[in-house]
Structure 1
Amino acid sequence: MSMILFACVVRVRDGLPLSASTDFYHTQDFLECRRRLKTLALRLAQYPGRGSAQGCDFNIHFSSSGDVACMAICSRRCPAAMAFCFLETVWWEFTASYDTTCIGLASRPYAFLEFAPNFRMEPVTALGILSLILNIMCAALNLIRGIHLAEHSLQVAHEEIGNILAFLIPFVACIFQCYLYLFYSPARTTKVVLMLLFICLGNVYLHGLRNLWQILFHVGVAFLSSHQILTRQLQEKQSDCGV
């Protein structure tokens, strides 16, 4: 789990949000922390240039200079030094991108959303690339077999429809597994389990059209891809903090 969960840039004098990272978390505690952050942003002019607000599960850290402040919601295990270093890095990059005149004239929330202090996924690994290649191969095999069966089953009984779906549903699941590996998505674990279930059930249903080794290959690739998705986490924005 990422230690820095949300970051935003606000204008100090009135708390106007100028930019923010993508919000991946929607638990009740996190949403309550977002409300606290918004309230705190409106009062930043009353506080010193750096501070923290502690909560049960999350901490809010802020760092300001001039009329620009950077704020972050972090997990309790995130060291304060890391959070402040991250915020200072965001502050320097933001103020280097936009001058004080532009910031002062901003009249609508998130006027500089293109800056977006987002978090990237960890770099792909060799095993992750292999899982992508194998997943694409499985998707292609499922699509080809499904289309081929559909072309020759137009006048056949309804039981063939089940076989066609058993090819096409795992095809979609394989493609979605590739997406989940490359891009972060909320409720990722639930989606991974569902995709794995679709692929496994589809291949079990196809017993007879596929031999045991083919089924084991498709299921094995699905498990490998699921493992790679769940082990690739969000990457904190890097800086020269030395923490």
Structure 2
Amino acid sequence: MSVILYACAVRSRDGLPLSASTDFHQHNQVLECKRKLKALSLTLSQCPARGTAQGRDLCIHFSSAGDVTFLAICTDSVPSAVAFSFLEELQWEFSVSCSSTSVALASRPYAFLGFDRVIQRVKHNFNFARGPPVHLDPSPPPVIVRLEDVEDVNVIVNGYSTLPMQSAPNYRMTPVTALGILSLTLNIMCGALSLIRGVHLAEHSFQEGYGNAGKVTAFLTAFSANILQCYLHLFYCSARKRKTCGLLFLICVCHVYLYGLRNLWQIAFHVLVALLSAQQTLIRKPLEKHCDIGV
């Protein structure tokens, strides 16, 4: 029996899933094909507009239109013409209901959840109609894509693709704790104190020369490091651990250099606040990836 098992829409430039059909296929072969589909979606910017990735018994067909690509998992008995007619039908339905601007501004997975029902309806029509509509397509024939190449590009480990850990709006962090809020408040206060002292010292010393330029720079550097510590605590970015430790070291060096303008108790307070902020930043981890719809 010719069957379209699964279909989804993703953003072509980064593979962000926009919508997908809900299904309950728990067969290992189907699940494995879905994982390969996810890996393929991350390389669509390097793929042709139309293509087919052939598996043993299942095939992945994909077709791009603008910034949106539709992909479908079908049994190998589904004719290529039928599969691409199905994808074209989805493209037309999507273009009617969703604008290119909303696609470009989407920042979270499955932002077009309502389109799932359309995918289900069109999939049902193609699967159960006696003669699914097949359109004459003047487009070039689909390019055959090797899934092994896709896996190599995405560094798939045990069937899962390892995503590059970059700063991105899709990474959500665990909630900020009460101690984390306290560290942010103290960090802002320490940064404000350093800024005020630095500006005050600059106003009085630069009138007589630049002998305290190093001290002013240390105050302003400590202020900047405090603000960056707050940023690292609130948002995810790459090399987060190294940056956190580097900022802690920088704050310690600045306040040791400022000994004389600040007493030991003041230096100890600023260093302890920086240490608390670094500790809270390091224990705040990205949330585990949520299960995708239909997977």
Match of 1:205 in 2: 257
Match of 1:63 in 2: none
Higher normalized contact order (CA 8 Å, seq sep 6+, divided by chain length) = 1
Match of 2:219 in 1: 167
Letter in 2 for 1:139: G
Letter in 2 for 1:144: I
Match of 2:76 in 1: none
Alignment length, in residue pairs?
177
Match of 2:178 in 1: 126
1:38 and 2:90 correspond: no
Q: Deviations over 1:79-117 (max 9, x none)?
A: xxxxxxxxxxxxxxxxxxx99711699998x94550532
Q: Deviations over 1:118-140 (max 9, x none)?
A: 23110000110010000001000
CA distance in 2, matches of 1:132, 1:44: 49
Letter in 1 for 2:211: E
Matching of residues 187-198 of structure 1 within 5 Å: 187-198=239-250
3-state SS of paired residue (2:43): helix
Contact 1:19 1:116 in 2 (8 A): no
Q: Deviations over 1:35-60 (max 9, x none)?
A: 89537x9545756499xxxxxxxxxx
Match of 2:94 in 1: 102
Deviation at 1:155, TM superposition (A): 2.4
1:216 and 2:268 correspond: yes
CA distance in 1, matches of 2:243, 2:202: 28
Contact 1:143 1:167 in 2 (8 A): yes
Letter in 2 for 1:137: M
Contact 1:11 1:18 in 2 (8 A): no
Letter in 2 for 1:133: T
Instruction: Give TM-score, length-normalised by structure 1.
Output: 0.59
Q: 1:49 to 1:113 in 2, by over 3 A?
A: farther
CA distance in 1, matches of 2:92, 2:171: 25
Letter in 2 for 1:130: L
Stretches of structure 1 lacking an aligned partner (at least 5 in a row): 1-8, 22-32, 51-66, 71-97
1:227 and 2:232 correspond: no
CA distance in 2, matches of 1:104, 1:49: 27
Q: 1:133 to 1:160 in 2, by over 3 A?
A: same
Contact 1:18 1:113 in 2 (8 A): no
Match of 2:136 in 1: none
CA distance in 1, matches of 2:207, 2:98: 64
CA distance in 2, matches of 1:236, 1:131: 24
Deviation at 1:230, TM superposition (A): 1.0
Q: Deviations over 1:204-243 (max 9, x none)?
A: 00101111010000001111111111111110244699xx
Contact 1:120 1:234 in 2 (8 A): yes
Letter in 2 for 1:220: L
Deviation at 1:181, TM superposition (A): 0.5
1:114 and 2:103 correspond: no
Match of 1:141 among 166, 176, 193: 193
1:181 and 2:233 correspond: yes
- Structure possessing the higher radius of gyration over alpha carbons: 2
CA distance in 2, matches of 1:227, 1:19: 34
Letter in 1 for 2:106: E
Q: 1:195 to 1:35 in 2, by over 3 A?
A: farther
CA distance in 2, matches of 1:165, 1:133: 23
CA distance in 2, matches of 1:197, 1:68: 49
Instruction: Give TM-score, length-normalised by structure 2.
Output: 0.50
Q: 1:18 to 1:134 in 2, by over 3 A?
A: closer
Q: CA RMSD in A?
A: 4.1
Q: 1:37 to 1:183 in 2, by over 3 A?
A: closer
Q: 1:126 to 1:37 in 2, by over 3 A?
A: same
